[in-house]
Structure 1
Amino acid sequence: MTKLSAQMSNSGGRWHLYVPLMNAATVWPEYDWARRSTVPTLAEREQALSALGYESAPDGEWTWVEDSDTPGDPTSPVRLIAAATIRPSTTGGAA
């Protein structure tokens, strides 16, 4: 079964989940949460993935990295980026 990566980030306030589809001539599947302050829970991430037609892979643990708007500037705002291994839903869906 195909394994892909889902990524989630917060840039400008809202959390945004997307599935980068490399070598595809389609728009990447994406999901936005309306709230701004809290990180989406694991259950909310699974619901978003399901709405897009995906699910976490058995080894699909979320990992986090930091980035910044201005590399090398310690005063630049920090951006959190998460990623997890996913696969097309085994129960059907939008993918």
Structure 2
Amino acid sequence: MSGQETPRKFTAQMSVRAGRWRLYVVLLNTTERWPEHCFSRPLPVPTFTERADALKVLGFEPAPGAEWAWTEDTERPDDPASAVVLIAATRVRSWTGAGQ
């Protein structure tokens, strides 16, 4: 990328909070507010295209070859009866089309 800054890579995550999906980009080692986008519904799960569009609005894009990975967690750690929480994550980079 001659004359251009190399895009920085980050992790984007998505989970349900307060009855709606929330997509956010994790910014480590900073006090900056993490960029986030809230979808207005709990179901259906936002599509790949909807997630990519939301990332673009936030100034990011999926990293080449990146795939979404889903992880199961619980609302209350160490409680086997706790409700399940699904968290999706993928690698993203600062959007190379920004400012063009």
TM-score by length of 1: 0.90
Deviations 1:24-66 (A, max 9, x none): 2311100000112211000000000000000000121000001
Determine the C-alpha separation between the residues in 2 that align with 1:80 and 1:38. 13
Q: Compute the displacement of 1:23 (Å).
A: 1.4
Distance 1:70 1:29 in 2: 26
CA RMSD across the alignment: 1.3
Q: How many residues align?
A: 93
**Structure 1: 5+ residue stretches without partners:** none
Q: State the TM-score, normalized to the length of structure 2.
A: 0.86
**Aligned counterparts, 1:31-70, within 5 A:** 31-70=37-76
The sequence identity of aligned pairs, in percent, is 49
SS in 2 for 1:26: coil
CA distance in structure 1 between the aligned counterparts of 2:42 and 2:11, rounded to whole angstroms: 23
Structure 1 position 20, deviation (Å): 1.1
Q: 2:89 aligns with which of 83, 87, 95?
A: 83
Deviates more, 1:72-81 or 1:2-11: 72-81
Give structure 1 regions of 4+ aligned residues with deviation exceeding 4 angstroms: none
Unaligned runs of 5+ in 2: 1-5
Work out which of the two has the higher radius of gyration on C-alpha atoms and give 1 or 2. Answer: 2
Distance in 2 of aligned mates of 1:41 and 1:55: 15
Contact 1:11 1:79 in 2 (8 A): no
Question: How far did residue 71 of structure 1 move?
Answer: 2.3
Asked whether 1:19 is paired with 2:25, we answer yes
Structure 1: distance between partners of 2:74 and 2:90: 20
CA distance in 1, matches of 2:62, 2:43: 24
Per-residue CA deviations over 1:5-32 (Å, capped at 9, x if unaligned) read 0000113310000011111231110000
SS at match of 1:83: strand
